[in-house]
Amino acid sequence: MTISISTSSHTHSGLLKLYIYIAFTVLCWGYSPIGVHNALHSYTPQHIALLRFLIASFFLLLLVMKKGIQPLNWKDVPALAVLGFFSVTLHHLLINTGQQYVTAVASSILSQSIPLFTFIISALLFKEQIGFKQWLCILLGLCGAVLVVSGDHGFGVPSPYSLLIVLAAMAWGLYFNLYKKFDLNYDALSMMCYIIWFGTIPLLFYSAHLPSEILHATWQANMSVVLLGVFPSAMAYLLWGYVLKNMPLTIASNFLYCSPIVAMSLAVVFLNEKPSMIVLLGGVMIVGSLVWMNWGNRRTIE
């Protein structure tokens, strides 16, 4: 994949910063399934989602108290609420519930189907032209996803919990498309603050018994939730918002296929997970389809 850079709009230092942000985001999101796995020992999936984004919301509030925030345009509220629902509320409820019975490695690999669904949604809902080669790549990637959901705990009928991870990836694919479609006029910090805050509001429905669960949780689970709130949620969302503002959607989303490598390494070291060959083959098919899809393409970061 070759990316052509417009020097009139991007300096070399600006481009370097962009790739540093991408690397940090990938690292954070690679840790995310590990943190969720640890937190599930003490928390329900709903409480993990609520607590991590309460922490993220508070962290962002401290940040905007120092740096300031663009005023909210009330006509943008429906769009921000939709973005928050798909990227925060729905995505994390689905992925946390699914990960109760899906390994961290398989969860991370399935999450990498996000670019595939980004392309599918772009074609079906927003009429973006997709060539024959791209459709072949999408088909190959989806076949890889089938292998992952079928082979996570020994080859067999796909677990419905694995399908929840796939639905979570679809929710993010829709979020990516809507983010670009709405094209709201906010800086990266303001945009992510509003998205996360609006996405956290529906999660408050699950606030009953949360204080008691916090008190009875292990320190390891509480530490995992804090890390999830500060890094994969607040910092990664903020940096990814900056990336989406400065890089084409289909290029930006494809950098995420580095996440399973990070997640797999962390899962092997800290969780002692040993992914099956079927899961690894499925992961190779997903990543390979994305590499093939972009091989030889020339894009301009605008």
Whether 102 is covered by a domain: the verdict is yes
Whether 219 is covered by a domain: the verdict is yes
Contacts (Cβ under 8 Å, ≥6 apart) of 194: 72, 76, 80, 84, 186
Collapsing DSSP states into helix, strand and coil, what is residue 152?
strand
What percentage of the chain has pLDDT greater than the value 90? 28
Whether 6 is covered by a domain: the verdict is no
Handedness of CA 248, 69, 47, 230 (dihedral sign): positive
Whether 8 is covered by a domain: the verdict is no
Whether 3 is covered by a domain: the verdict is no
Which of 221, 214, 218, 219 has the alpha carbon at shortest distance from 38?
221
Q: Which helix (H) or strand (E) holds 184?
A: none
What percentage of the chain has pLDDT greater than the value 70? 86
The pTM (predicted TM-score) of the whole model is 0.79
Q: Which domain holds residue 95?
A: 13-301
Residue 155 confidence (pLDDT): 58
Q: Which tens digit of pLDDT belongs to each residue from 60-104?
A: 999 899 888 999 999 999 999 999 999 999 999 999 998 888 877
pLDDT exceeds cutoff 50 at 10: no
DSSP E strand stretches across the chain: 2-5, 298-301
Whether 5 is covered by a domain: the verdict is no
State how far the Cα of 50 lies from the Cα of 202, in Å rounded to an integer: 9
Count the domains in the chain.
1
